[in-house]
Amino acid sequence: MKNKSLLLHTCCAPCSGYLVTELLKDFDVTVYYDNSNISPEGEYVKRKSEAEKFYKKSGIKFIEAKYSHND
């Protein structure tokens, strides 16, 4: 186990996939998905689902904030 942890915000898997693989060399990475700015909600769900699938398949912890576009 590495002694440094990193919480990384991502908007989608393609944007951060390579970066996370590099960061894993030095950090325990947790990916944080919080993108209520994305509209419509269906687009948000599509991006979130692909990111979650990618990171979980890679064994990387993935957490999501609640979608709240109006806030």
Q: What pTM was estimated for this model as a whole? A: 0.81
pLDDT value, residue 71: 78
Q: Is 14 helix (H, G, I), strand (E, B) or coil?
A: helix
- 1 pLDDT band, cuts 50/70/90, is low
pLDDT value, residue 52: 92
Number of residues that this document lists for the chain: 71
Residue 65 main-chain phi, psi, to 5 deg? -85, 160
Question: Among candidates 8, 54, 1, which has minimal Cα distance to 29?
Answer: 8
Q: What is the mean pLDDT of residues 56-62?
A: 91
pLDDT value, residue 46: 92
pLDDT tens figures, 7-56: 999 887 777 888 888 999 999 999 999 988 889 999 999 999 999 999 99
| Tokens at 37, concatenated | 């700015």
Question: Among candidates 57, 60, 59, which has minimal Cα distance to 10?
Answer: 60
